[in-house]
Amino acid sequence: MMVNRLIFEGPDDKHVVMNLLFNHEHNGERLCEHFSEKVKDGVDHLIDTLNEELKATDLGRLGVVLDADTDLAKQWARGTRVLDEHGCRAVPAAPNADGTIVETNDSKKIGIWVMPDNKSAGALEDFVGKLIAEGDTLWPKAQADVNGIPQADRRFKETYLSKAQIHTWLAWQEEPGTRMGETFKKKYLDPNHPQATAFVNWIRRLLA
Amino acid sequence: MGKPLFDSLEIRQFRAFDYIKIDQLGHINLFLGKNNVGKSTLLEALCLHANLGSPQTIQWILDGRDEPGEVRHGNTADPTVWSLFHGHPALERITESIQIGRVGAPDSALSLSIAWLRKTSDMDASGGFGDGSGYGGGVQPGQQYVEVGPPEATDGEGPIPALIVKYGSMRRVLRLDEAFDDLCRRWNLQTRSHRDLATPCVHVGPGGLDDAGLRSLWEKVVLTDAKMDVIDAMRIIAPETEDFALLHLHERVSSLRLRVKDREDSVPIKTMGDGMNRLFGLGMALACAKGGILLVDEIENGIHWSVLPEVWKFVVKVAKRLEVQVFATTHSNDCLKAFQMGTKGDPDVDGVAVRIEKKNGEFSAEIFDEKRLAVIVKEAIEIR
């Protein structure tokens, strides 16, 4: 039996994406039910094992969710080198802003989404930050408060700034300690926000 | 462990395979692939090679597929040997030879081809046959048959079909108008130097050893150290096993009995379930394949998944000691996982999984060495 598969760098990415897909439908079923998911131990592990994942004999469609981190172009090059080696056709030099979809030489669809939005540096937390409703009063405050911590007092590294901001914002919600993946269920975030819709549309194109 | 006997495999024109190449093989090999893709045919090819194309092996292959190796004189029935050849062509249309050997090593290849023979006594005074066969002499003194082309017409007293078996310096002619039993008997009379070219080879089918196979292996194992390996195999699932013997109950009826700890009477192994029978067969076959190859079709049959890692560890351990190259087939993912676990432990023993595929009419073999297998098992990637 062929299986559509989504591959993530870590558990947080999986929870956010699968919860988002839970709120959308495709052919009468929840979108999340169209996929099995696989969580890797970081981006290096994901890229190191991608070659074998592409060759899995039970693979239907494959969606790969990566973080751009500090260097989108570098991350893109790492991921797409594996796709090139596998014989994927027409792999673009830079990600498509709507999410990239290529085909293998035996016509399997492979999708790549680079968090947060296929054009900016950043990671899952930046994607979640973009889903916060316009006019939310706590979000600018959470960002400003974290930004206001003097460098000497910050215990997190610079690249974790958006992580610190989003978890600060989460701590101020109705149930502090809510995990990012549960924010749709608790209605802190709107699964139909345009940024979320862009991701969902990429998933739909992958299944089409 | 030394270099394996087959470090690669290349087959031409044999049964389902017009051509297949396996670039890498290890000491312990597991063939994967969908039903009907040719996994068992690979084992047959290896068996045929190990036995230098003996008529016994040919008959075993044909019998195994309900194609009895029966040959009748004249053209009343086509000899079924043709079904060894790819595409099952009529005998007179077989032009290409079956080749089984290592990749890029023509010297290692066993070759089977069809030739047509005529008695030299049928020749006319000019040294030809006067029938337009175009044969123009060159007959050695004492030579009874010469090779001619395939018959033009199918009726009448045409030339006799023969299977030519070649390996290195060996060249044997098996006349297909003779009964297989006669061919087998004559094959056994071959010279010592040719017999020494053969490789010990034991095949265990999906259902285990049959009674005849069991009896012949028993004779090789009884009163040898190898018997202990067989007991070890059975102890994987029945630690209480102490000894075993083949008892002749009546004429031609034998029963394999076990001595089990804390029991006075012996226990027939057949009462102990499929797993015990499988492990017994594996142990016996491995012990008897010393210095050669062991072929096991659907190795996981009858064995609970939880003991498969122990089974592979046993196979690796004994195969290493007895210098046996192992080839098995499986459909089971648990078996593949266990294979990886069983082969990774010993750096001297090279484990290779090979997936056989047929795409667009062409066969291919994907090699999974131990490094790739480690990733595949850890990441639970489907490769069957």
Q: Measured between alpha carbons, how far is A202 from A31 in angstroms, rounded to an integer?
A: 12
Q: B64 vs chain A: nearest CA distance in angstroms?
A: 30
To the nearest 10°, report the CA torsion of B325, B331, B332, B333.
90
Give the ipTM.
0.85
Question: Which residue on chain B is closest to A40 by alpha carbon?
Answer: B379
Contact (CB<8Å) A38/B379 = yes
Mean pLDDT of B179-204: 86
Does residue B250 or residue A77 have the better pLDDT?
Answer: A77
> Across the strands, what pairs with B148?
B116
Q: Residues of chain B with pLDDT > 70: what percent? A: 89
pLDDT along chain A (208 residues), means of 10: 96 97 95 97 97 96 96 96 95 97 95 97 96 95 97 94 96 95 95 96 97
CB of A52 within 8 Å of any CB in chain B? Answer: yes
Question: Which residue on chain A is closest to B357 by alpha carbon?
Answer: A57
Contact (CB<8Å) A52/B382 = no
β-strand B9-14 against B98-101: which pairing, if any? antiparallel
Q: How many residues does chain A have?
A: 208
Q: B364 vs chain A: nearest CA distance in angstroms?
A: 14
Q: Measured between alpha carbons, how far is B170 from B338 in angstroms, rounded to an integer?
A: 41
Q: Is the dihedral of CA A42, B384, B202, B5 positive or negative?
A: negative
Does residue B185 or residue B78 have the better pLDDT?
Answer: B185
Question: Which residue on chain A is closest to B34 by alpha carbon?
Answer: A57
- Is residue B43 a contact partner of residue B57, using CB atoms and an 8 Å limit? no
Q: How many residues does chain B have?
A: 384
Element (H, E) at A109: strand A109-115
For tokens 């701590």, name the residue.
A171
Among the partner-chain residues B355, B375, B384, the one whose CB lies closest to the CB of A52 is B375
Segments of A3-108 assigned E as strands: 3-8, 25-26, 29-30, 36-39, 59-67, 100-103
Q: What is the pLDDT of residues B84-122, one digit of tens each?
A: 999 888 888 889 999 999 999 999 999 999 999 988 777
Residues of B with CB under 8 A from a CB of A: 355, 366, 372, 375-376, 379, 381-384
Residue-averaged pLDDT of chain B: 87
Contact (CB<8Å) B382/A58 = yes
- Is residue B226 a contact partner of residue B218, using CB atoms and an 8 Å limit? no
Cβ-Cβ contacts under 8 Å, A38 against chain B: 379
Model pLDDT, residue A12: 96
**Which residues have C-beta within 8 Å of that of residue B229, sequence separation ≥ 6?**
B283, B286, B287, B318, B322
Q: How many Cβ atoms sit within 10 Å of the Cβ of residue B231?
A: 17
Q: Measured between alpha carbons, how far is B29 from B46 in angstroms, rounded to an integer?
A: 12
| pLDDT level of residue B74 (50, 70, 90 thresholds) | very low
Specify the pTM: 0.87
Q: Measured between alpha carbons, how far is B177 from B377 in angstroms, rounded to an integer?
A: 52
Q: B377 vs chain A: nearest CA distance in angstroms?
A: 11
Q: What is the pLDDT of residues A164-198, one digit of tens each?
A: 999 999 999 999 999 999 999 999 999 999 999 99
Cβ-Cβ contacts under 8 Å, B375 against chain A: 48-49, 52
Q: What is the pLDDT of residues B260-307, one digit of tens each?
A: 999 989 999 888 888 998 999 999 999 999 999 999 999 999 999 999
Cβ-Cβ contacts under 8 Å, A48 against chain B: 375
**Helix (H, G, I), strand (E, B), or coil: what is residue A191?**
coil
Model pLDDT, residue A192: 95
